[in-house]
Amino acid sequence: MKKLVVLCILLFSIQIQSQTYLKFNAATALIAVPNIGIETSIGEKTTFSVDVMVSFWESFNGHNPMKFYTLTPEVRYHFKEKYDGFYLGLHAGPDVYKLQKWNYFNSNMYEDGFGYRIGITVGYNIKISEKLLLDVFAGGGWHQGFYHGNYNDGTPQRYDHAPNWNKSGEWLPYRGGVMLSYKL
């Protein structure tokens, strides 16, 4: 019952706030990686956006894992006006993954773990109509990962030999696309 009340209040508040957009990333949808989000006004030139991206792929090639889940809450500052023109966003969010890091693509090793990201997004909003807009964006920043390094050929031990979690921090580009946004 409490969940229903909270959901009703949330939906009601979204409807009252006429500058709320439901977003769907058309670019990541082309490779069957859903990325959906919602963005709402929080100030004169600021908005709050949160999106979720999920890769359900066990593997692209049947051998190397490529499964991940990300949550990205972000505050955006729009230089012109909200939902029109350039914006800059600041975000931080968690992720969970079972994938091969970019520098292990030609190996039989993969990482199974979790992490967090802190970074910026640069984007541009293009109004298509009163209800639709395109959000073209790219972002990246610092990713700190905690993982177990495993072999994907059935070898039972870990390759990293860390007593608990191996740790890896890297500056990476990790988000981007074209969000098709619908005004609620």
Label each residue of the chain as H, E or C. Answer: CHHHHHHHHHHHHHHHCCCEEEEEEHHHHCCCCCEEEEEEECCCCEEEEEEEEEECCCECCCCCEEEEEEEEEEEEEECCECCEEEEEEEEEEEEEEEECCHHHCCCCEEEEEEEEEEEEEEEEEEECCCCEEEEEEEEEEEEEEEEEEEECCCCCCCCCCCCCCEEEEEEEEEEEEEEEEEEC
pLDDT recorded at residue 179 = 97
Under-50 pLDDT residues of the chain: 14-16
pLDDT given for residue 19 in this prediction: 85
User: What is the pLDDT, as a whole number, of residue 152?
Assistant: 85
Look at residue 18 in the predicted model and tell me its pLDDT.
59
- pTM value is 0.84
Q: What is the pLDDT of residue 6?
A: 56
For 158, counting Cβ atoms within 10 Å of its Cβ (0-12 exposed, 13-18 middle, 19+ buried), the class is: middle
Specify the pLDDT at position 21.
96
User: pLDDT at position 58, please?
Assistant: 77
Strands 85-99 and 109-127: antiparallel
Residue 103 has what pLDDT? 80
Q: What is the pLDDT of residue 7?
A: 52
pLDDT at 10: 55
Q: Judge contact between 79 and 87, C-beta under 8 A.
A: yes
pLDDT of residue 59: 75
Q: What is the pLDDT of residue 173?
A: 94
